Structure 1
Amino acid sequence: MAKSKFSIGPAALVAAAFIGPGTVTVATKAGANFGFSLLWALLFSVVATIILQEMTARLGVIGQKGLGQSIRELVKNPLLKVLSVILVVSAIIIGNAAYEGGNIAGATLGVQAVWNYPSIANLDLAALLIGLIAFIVLWTGSYRFIEKILIAVVLLMSVAFLVTFVITKPDLGALFKGLLVPSLPDSATLTVIALIGTTVVPYNLFLHSSSAKKKWSTPEELSQARQDIYISIPLGGLISIAIVSTAASAFFGSQLEIDSAADMAKSIEPAFGNLAQYMIALGLFAAGISSAITAPLASAYALSGLLNIPEDLKSRSFRLIWLVILVVGVAVASLGLKPVSVIWFAQVANGLLLPIIASFLLWAMNQGFLGQHKNNAWQNVLGLLVVIVSIILGAKSLLSAFELL
């Protein structure tokens, strides 16, 4: 029986990912270095997220399949099946390991703002403790309650940016020009990819489809899944735009390098004064812990579908998958690299991997098992546009990295 009352669904978690440590860091650096000129990339990212997550919702609700399961079932040729699974598994492992490293590094960035702790055998103590917390929560399966608390704290920090956005009175003309007139200043390509990578997170496509099929199961409920997306995703985008705009007003033209939570805190000082550093520290820690729990879990759901492993939270194989991602993330965050650098790399990696996962999603959404709910011409055009723009930006960044452009 269809549920008559709307309730918050998987898209809320997707939106919560917008305001993790990656978004706070990347959006602050984008505003500080390029002012309002890259806001169009965030607008594109929000629209792209709505387009792709709506597809994953249909895949889950109508097809009752996760994206990983769809990829495994749709490729019939044995050789192509093996190659496809290897490609997507590699993308998930590389992308989520980097993302997990960024999550944990983001949480450590928050700890560093208020506690000058020692290292143990050249390993970051805060990263080890955060990894241990995530391990315990994932192992016991009690992550949902803790995640709700942490998301509430992150939302509090987001309110800080929205309040500061109003207080700082940004140049609305420059803001709307940045939103509506695409431009690519020198050295801005990686920042654009990072903004896309921190908003359109590839693992969310797997997580959303698997979560949607568990929450909704009839065509009549598809409208609820869409309403969930159309409310949650734009709200997350609004917060991201506020972070960029606040940083642009506070830092653009100052030549300040954003390397710590203390640097980021200066952008919300108009709203919180001396408490700004603690607000940023608490928000980064909460965002990092929450994402450090959900990213390995999403990896386990994605790879379970691809490898035909039961989605049992307590099975040995399921636990092994999230444990590998968690351990690699702790290792990356403990290498002595600047946390901001780790977070930055994670978002760029996500942006580069997006076209691969989105292409598989587009293919799945044109299959007969979806009946009248498979992609129409406009949905295919919009999906292809997202993929093409992502490929062009990724190619440009790689060519620039090898000094070929």
Structure 2
Amino acid sequence: MKKLLGIALGILTAIGGFVDIGDLVTNAVVGSRFGMGLTWVVLVGVVGICLFAQMSGRVAAVSGRATFEIIRERLGPRAGLANLAASFLINLMTLTAEIGGVALALQLATSVEPMLWMPVAAFGVWIVIWRAKFSLLENVTGLLGLTLIVFAVAVFLLGPDWSQLIGQALHPTVSQGEHTVTYWYYAVALFGAAMTPYEVFFFSSGAIEEKWTVKSLAQSRVNVLVGFPLGGFLSLAIAACATIVLLPQSIAVTSLSQVVLPVVQAGGKIALAFVIVGILAATFGAALETTLSSGYTLSQYFGWSWGKFRRPAQAARFHVSMIICLLIGLGVLATGVDPVLITEISVVFSAIALPLTYLPILIVANDPEYMGEHVNGRLTNALGMVYLVIILVAAIAAIPLMIITGAGA
């Protein structure tokens, strides 16, 4: 049982990171417009986030030190500050989207306007971070998020033409009426949703919270190899549901209710109950991760005391910074901006910021001063360089594609 609970950090990171509001919306949009034609991006993203998280977890376990503390020391304060600024702003944008996602999930359950749920969602995130133990946070939220498997069940209940779905995945084409540039814009967005930087910062900081050592490297690998592929599988299930139900009817995804429509069609009210629980757990888990990540990144860079294992009085700036970030996110949502729109923009900017967060980890993971004999092997470095190129291409292409397509419109 302890070994099973040991992978909970990976499950939480996958459910609350890989399958957050960004992935729910982006995969549903892609499925409703391009079918399974972007399956390859999800697969590339899964391998990439596994590589990224594995290096980050190993750095934390071997060095016993936090990500941003090492980055600042290894690359210098200026490079570290650029990394911090990019990561923090993307994290804050994602946090705002996740709070909105929790409110939208509660709207599905109650039909009460999301604006009324947003303060409740932010307060709930704060109280859980303040009072709940880290182990309880990861176990409960991660395991409840597994109810999103209802998307995979819905695919089977809908009785699709499997040869058509597999054909779309193996032979991707641009759907009739769509432009090639738009296809590539959503490829970048989907890649950004899969490799959101906060997932890795939360994962590595969680390793410090749980006091991982060199002996924990096997657990780290299990977390990565179970959690993120699971998130990728659920992402493909979401896209498949949209492909089967929404694409033939030309239904554009602009709300969370449209994301769950195929599940309701497949399994009725029981399936709806499961999917609401799953979305609520995933978005709430992601809100916890992004809130903690905001405190982690600031505290680690500036050398503040941090961690849920420390009481608020012992890590005051860590806890205050998280409260401020929650209030900023709530203030942005109070303007009436659409959380779905924030989500769509945040995943694209995640792709833009990736080089600033990925490259330092790749450098430190190859530094024997920090890693000793646990530096990257040849295969990891080969994959690392391939993904560095992919990440740079995605980051360079993101803004031009966003401008040309009008953010995928």
TM bucket, shorter chain: 0.7 to 0.9
Confirm or deny: 8 A CA contact 1:40 1:178 kept in the other structure: no
- Select the residue among 251, 258, 267 that pairs with 1:256: 251
- 5 Å-filtered alignment, 1:30-109, equals 30-75=30-75, 81-109=76-104
Equivalent position SS for 1:36: coil
Separation of aligned partners in 1, 2:299 and 2:31: 39
**Superimposed CA distance per residue, residues 219-277 of structure 1 (whole angstroms, 9 cap, x where no aligned partner):** 34322321222122212211111111111111114221212232122211243224555
- 5 Å-filtered alignment, 1:216-227, equals 217-227=212-222
Partner of 1:399: 400
1:138 to 2:138 alignment: no
Separation of aligned partners in 2, 1:149 and 1:9: 9
Separation of aligned partners in 2, 1:232 and 1:118: 33
291-300 vs 180-189, which moves further: 180-189
Confirm or deny: 8 A CA contact 1:143 1:293 kept in the other structure: no
- Select the residue among 207, 210, 235 that pairs with 1:212: 207
Separation of aligned partners in 2, 1:143 and 1:14: 13
Separation of aligned partners in 1, 2:216 and 2:106: 42
Q: What letter matches 1:105 in structure 2?
A: G
Partner of 2:14: 15
Change (3 A) 1:394 1:176: farther
Separation of aligned partners in 1, 2:135 and 2:329: 21
- 5 Å-filtered alignment, 1:215-254, equals 215=210, 217-254=212-249
Partner of 2:305: 310
Change (3 A) 1:30 1:171: same
Separation of aligned partners in 2, 1:377 and 1:371: 15
Percent identical among aligned pairs is: 23
Confirm or deny: 8 A CA contact 2:155 2:240 kept in the other structure: yes
Q: What letter matches 1:130 in structure 2?
A: A
Separation of aligned partners in 2, 1:71 and 1:42: 28
Q: What letter matches 2:146 in structure 1?
A: L
**Superimposed CA distance per residue, residues 63-97 of structure 1 (whole angstroms, 9 cap, x where no aligned partner):** 2222112102212xxxxx23212212211221111
Change (3 A) 1:241 1:189: same
106-115 vs 238-247, which moves further: 106-115
**Superimposed CA distance per residue, residues 173-214 of structure 1 (whole angstroms, 9 cap, x where no aligned partner):** 444455455667441233222222222220122222222245
- 5 Å-filtered alignment, 1:272-287, equals 272-287=267-282
RMSD (CA atoms): 2.6
Confirm or deny: 8 A CA contact 2:12 2:139 kept in the other structure: no
Partner of 2:177: none
- Select the residue among 110, 117, 128 that pairs with 2:119: 128
Confirm or deny: 8 A CA contact 2:263 2:271 kept in the other structure: yes
Q: What letter matches 2:202 in structure 1?
A: L
Separation of aligned partners in 1, 2:208 and 2:168: 38
Confirm or deny: 8 A CA contact 1:296 1:326 kept in the other structure: yes
Confirm or deny: 8 A CA contact 2:99 2:287 kept in the other structure: yes
Cα distance, 1:13 vs structure 2: 2.0
Partner of 1:78: none
199-208 vs 90-99, which moves further: 199-208
Separation of aligned partners in 1, 2:386 and 2:340: 31
Confirm or deny: 8 A CA contact 1:40 1:179 kept in the other structure: yes
Cα distance, 1:217 vs structure 2: 4.3
Separation of aligned partners in 1, 2:171 and 2:25: 24
Confirm or deny: 8 A CA contact 2:351 2:395 kept in the other structure: yes
1:163 to 2:164 alignment: no
* Runs of at least 4 residues off by over 6 Å: none
1:192 to 2:191 alignment: no
Q: What letter matches 1:12 in structure 2?
A: I
Confirm or deny: 8 A CA contact 2:152 2:234 kept in the other structure: yes
Separation of aligned partners in 2, 1:404 and 1:126: 33
Change (3 A) 1:189 1:36: same
* Aligned pairs, number: 392
Equivalent position SS for 1:309: coil
Cα distance, 1:44 vs structure 2: 0.4
Partner of 2:338: 338
Runs of 5+ consecutive residues of structure 2 not aligned to the other structure = 175-179
Confirm or deny: 8 A CA contact 2:209 2:307 kept in the other structure: no
Cα distance, 1:103 vs structure 2: 0.3
